[in-house]
Structure 1
Amino acid sequence: MHQAVERERSAAGTPDRRTAVTRQSLAPQGVAPPQAHYSHGVMAADGTLYVAGQVPLDEHGRLVEGGAEAQTRQVLENLSRVVAAAGATLDDVVKTTVFLTSLDDREAVGRVRRSYFSDPPPANTLLVVSSLAHPGFLVEIEAIAVRRGSDGRR
């Protein structure tokens, strides 16, 4: 992990020793820094990893051109790096949410997605939205993963 920060917070978001939850913020190498105040990934103490929506920016923060297929590859490379920074793999991903700006890109995104996730694939929700955070973004994917224990079970 490039950067990890542990925080204890209550359900209301304020520090509280009685109901503390330890979480670890991830900022993996090879992924452009977040564009706003958020973490690329947060690992909860129970081994659940929450990955923020990954966008088609290369490690230098440049938009990947080449349409939805090229952008999806970059998004999934970024997602893979965040998951790896938590000590997990894409096989540990249990849920994804895909945001597209055009339903016409669904098949191209699906082809790329299938090449990254083995069977059985994670649960998925596909949403078509009017726009994403940058006018050039065609796709964004967020995920939830559950890191396997040392015995190989989730």
Structure 2
Amino acid sequence: MTDNHLTRIAAPEGVAPGTGYTHVVVGTGTFVAVSGQCAFDEEGVIVGAGDPDAQARQVFENLRRCLAAAGAGFDDVVKLTYFVTAMAHLPALRAARDAVIAPDRLPASSAVQVAALVHPDLLMEVEAFAVVPEPARS
């Protein structure tokens, strides 16, 4: 799929299609890197201790806010990296992602199980890379 500044290649020749992600995303514009976001609210309090669904929603809300600060949105995301303390948390992350990213605009992604995050009540962390279009020149 081609957007104004992004091209998504779901299954390159000779590569099996992925489920829930795009293998390759090519973009032109300004690169945006968003640090890993956890389920902290604006006061630094953990949202949803022990609840992967609540934490996933907060993580994606934090990603939305960070992307907006850079003039980007979820349509501009080219790569998500999921860090989870248990692979069982991936369905919650996918549901939160699917609530904000259309299925025809899925970014490339990786999922990594980690022993721990910065606080023992955190179940997940997600970082994002995005590309925003260059401003039009007059």
Could you say whether these structures have the same fold, taking a TM-score greater than 0.5 normalized by the shorter chain as the test?
yes
> In 1, distance between residues paired with 2:133 and 2:64?
16
Instruction: Give per-residue Cα distances to partners, 1:99-144, cap 9 Å, x unaligned.
Output: 1101111112211111111222010101111111110110100010
Q: Name the SS for the 2:125 alignment partner.
A: strand
> In 1, distance between residues paired with 2:133 and 2:42?
27
> In 2, distance between residues paired with 1:84 and 1:104?
29
Match among 101, 107, 111 for residue 95 of structure 2:
111
> In 2, distance between residues paired with 1:54 and 1:106?
15
Structure 1 runs of 4+ off > 6 angstroms?
none
Q: TM-score with structure 1 length normalisation?
A: 0.65
CA displacement at 1:96 relative to structure 2: 0.5
> Which residue of the partner structure matches residue 32 of structure 1?
none
Structure 2: runs of 5 or more not aligned: 1-28
Amino acid corresponding to residue 65 of structure 1 in structure 2: G
- The 8 Å contact of residues 88 and 148 in structure 1, kept in 2 or not, is answered as no
Cα RMSD, aligned residues only: 1.3
Q: TM-score with structure 2 length normalisation?
A: 0.73
In the alignment, is residue 150 of structure 1 matched against residue 122 of structure 2?
A: no
Structure 1: runs of 5 or more not aligned: 1-45
> Which residue of the partner structure matches residue 123 of structure 1?
108
Amino acid corresponding to residue 67 of structure 2 in structure 1: V
Q: Name the SS for the 1:116 alignment partner.
A: coil
Kindly report which structure 2 residues correspond to 1:11-26, keeping only aligned pairs within 5 A, or say none: none
